[in-house]
Structure 1
Amino acid sequence: MKGVYDLNLPYKLIISGSGSLELKANIQESLTGRKRLFRLFPVSFEEFLQYHTEYKYEDRLPEFLAVEGEHVRFLLEEYLQFGGYPRIVTEARLDEKKLLMDEIFHSYLEKDIVYLLKVDRPEIFVHLIRLLAVHSGKLVNYSHLASSLGIAVRTLKKYLWYAENTFIIQMVTPFYRNIKKEITKSPTVYFVDLGLRNFALGRFGNLVAVSENGFAFQNFVFNLLQEKADKLGGRLHSWRTKERAEVDFVLEKVDEVIPIGIKYASLKKISILRSMRTFIEKYQPKSAWVVNLSLDTTSELNHTKIHFIPYFKLLFSGSS
């Protein structure tokens, strides 16, 4: 590629691959100063809404969200079930969606994991992905997970690195300032695509229990927040103490931290959980968020403004 670039042809070359590892494996010479890397995520919820409304609200999506609450909720449930891989989004038939996701999963396994990364026990890797799907949104216990898989912790961490660098999962590190009080080093795992997470769970298109949708919603909000954090130049963390006080996310910016709680519910009134109160008392942030399905209001606790934010407001830059 370096040689082609140095020919100074009047063209721009776009080189695609399922993950950065593939590009690194096949481009041996340095392209420093000659390349620009783009990370392509699955179809976002905003793009998903635009597609399913035939782009009628392309310039006025907030208006659609405000007046079509029931329809939006239906589309949210579909997105939580099937995720955002483009071919899955555009396919209407459930049986075909399942076949497509099966193909995506096994193609990833055969191409990236077996062929490219030379994992000699792919069944262990598959089992890991399934266990991570079960534990998405929860702390990873390296010792317990390695024991369940029958592998060494060192091998487990290598497999987790593979999964993250092939864009299957993202690991969220803990936020802490007092190492004696808070659990450190154990990350929380989320999936880049909800459809693949549900497929690994054996629940693709079949999330039934409220708790199942709740964990999917938390993962969904994580993806929205991650996009926002990238734009703000911030970082997302989890937070949990040994006393089991827990806040889903902490958005760490240069000049402030924002604790964020997730509630898969149409809240009717202000309710501040004890763990959120604990974080506010400890760190005294300027603001806190409670992301939920519908409630849009602001409260205050110990000089901290607590914003109850409907999830769809995270789609727009002004929500921060």
Structure 2
Amino acid sequence: MLDRRLTAILYERLEQFPAVALLGPRQVGKTTLAQAVGDQRPSLYLDLESPPDRDKLSDPIDYLSSHAGKLVILDEIQRVPALFQSLRGLIDQGRRQGRTAGQFLLLGSASIDLLAQSSETLAGRIAYVELAPFDVLEVAAESSETLWVRGGLPESFLARSDRASMIWREQFIRTYLERDIPQFDARTPAETLRRLWTMLAHHQGGLLNTAQLARGLALDGRTVNRYLDLLVDLLLVRRLAPYHVNVGKRLVRSPKLYLRDAGLVHALLRLPTREALLGHPVVGASWEGFVIENLIGCAPDGTQASFYRTAVGAEIDLLLELPNGETWAVEIKRGLAPTPDRGFHQALEDLRPDQAWIVYSGEERYRKPGGITVIGLRELCSTLQACA
């Protein structure tokens, strides 16, 4: 088991809140991390996808009251949404008895539904923490390229070979399409969703064009948007919002779409190795998405992420508005001799950010004219983390 950077944050939230929701896609390591936390104190683990465990909660207040004083870990909590009302009563009862924190650890793989269900009943009683796939600060420096090619889902990254990793990712996609997604939306045909997923992989980092996607899938735009909402909800797709500010420019207003795990992009496009990836047109967009996910994951809580693009070509791949009030502009280049585009310089003149960076695939840090710093991904992630 690799150490997760989120572990310290999870302990901190459990010391402060009676309930903590640990969110993340399936197979990202939520259960492993939760059980490691549970091993450090008296705890009870229930898998709500298991019929015997669900049966134990036929009278949740009676059953869970008998385990008062333990950390109760409820896995796949969105499967039993009716539990939230019972948890509220148990949390309030625990407060009256002096237990103000660390009562429940809730694991979920559907963020929007879980947030909606829990926020209505547990407002002020719950904190949310998102566990993403492995990032560059959680693996050895020499494994960064492997992380990019295979993605950060633990079973894929830690597989004994590229072939074994690819087989695992193919089965992961199949299981999601045929078993997991129908649990959230039975109206979604698996084959249609696979085609949409593959189209998104081909257009990694492209602007959302609902009409184009609808034509390709022979569907109406409303249905396509519903499918996209589902993939975003399952923490598989990121909609990166455009930056809106009054700079007297005509700005692009459509979000960019990224599959959040690079390894899934490569599996959908049948690119099992680094060599196959480097020879494919998606290589630049794949690297861009990989960098964006790592930087957002390492940024301090409360950071707002977006991109900037004008109708005349001024563009910044990633804008990070940090909680301390600073704005960082990030250009992303694959290669060892990165040169900023004219559009990046123009965007810097438009926005005047506090820091301007070019992230590239090398490791040396150096300056370029215009106050731009060229930096490796790992070092910029460390720099962001130090801002927390």
TM-score bracket relative to the smaller structure? 0.7 to 0.9
Counterparts of residues 31-110 of structure 1 (less than 5 Å): 31-32=122-123, 35-49=126-140, 72=142, 75-110=143-178
- Provide closer, same or farther for how the CA distance between residues 32 and 176 of structure 1 changes in structure 2, counting only shifts above 3 A: closer
Q: 2:375 is matched with which residue?
A: 309
Candidates 268, 271, 274, aligned match of 1:200: 268
- Provide closer, same or farther for how the CA distance between residues 35 and 98 of structure 1 changes in structure 2, counting only shifts above 3 A: same
Shift of 1:113: 1.7
Q: What is the aligned-residue identity percentage? A: 25
Is the Cα–Cα contact under 8 Å of residues 132 and 297 in structure 2 kept in the other structure? no
Q: 1:259 is matched with which residue?
A: 329
Letter in 2 for 1:312: R
Shift of 1:7: 5.2
Shift of 1:261: 0.4
**In the comparison of the two structures, how many residue pairs are matched?**
290
1:117-149 deviation digits (Å, cap 9, x = unpaired): 113422111111111111111211111111211
> In structure 2, what is the Cα distance between the partners aligned to 1:137 and 1:187?
9
> In structure 2, what is the Cα distance between the partners aligned to 1:6 and 1:122?
41
TM-align CA RMSD: 2.8
Unaligned runs of 5+ in 1: 50-64, 66-71
- Provide closer, same or farther for how the CA distance between residues 14 and 23 of structure 1 changes in structure 2, counting only shifts above 3 A: farther
Q: 2:365 is matched with which residue?
A: 296
- Provide closer, same or farther for how the CA distance between residues 92 and 219 of structure 1 changes in structure 2, counting only shifts above 3 A: same
> In structure 2, what is the Cα distance between the partners aligned to 1:113 and 1:312?
34
- Provide closer, same or farther for how the CA distance between residues 261 and 120 of structure 1 changes in structure 2, counting only shifts above 3 A: closer
Counterparts of residues 165-314 of structure 1 (less than 5 Å): 165-178=233-246, 181-184=250-253, 186-205=254-273, 206-209=276-279, 211-229=281-299, 231=300, 233-253=302-322, 255-267=325-337, 271-294=339-362, 295-301=364-370, 305-314=371-380
> In structure 2, what is the Cα distance between the partners aligned to 1:309 and 1:213?
19
> In structure 2, what is the Cα distance between the partners aligned to 1:33 and 1:181?
41
> In structure 2, what is the Cα distance between the partners aligned to 1:216 and 1:9?
47
Q: 1:13 is matched with which residue?
A: 72
Matched, 1:122 2:190: yes
Secondary structure (helix, strand or coil) at the match of 1:38 reads strand
Return 2-11 or 81-90, whichever deviates more. 2-11
Letter in 2 for 1:181: R
> In structure 2, what is the Cα distance between the partners aligned to 1:20 and 1:134?
25
Shift of 1:15: 2.2
Q: 1:160 is matched with which residue?
A: 228
Unaligned runs of 5+ in 2: 1-56, 77-108
- Provide closer, same or farther for how the CA distance between residues 253 and 46 of structure 1 changes in structure 2, counting only shifts above 3 A: closer
Shift of 1:298: 2.4
> In structure 1, what is the Cα distance between the partners aligned to 2:240 and 2:201?
15
TM-score norm. by structure 2 comes to 0.67
> In structure 2, what is the Cα distance between the partners aligned to 1:309 and 1:23?
37
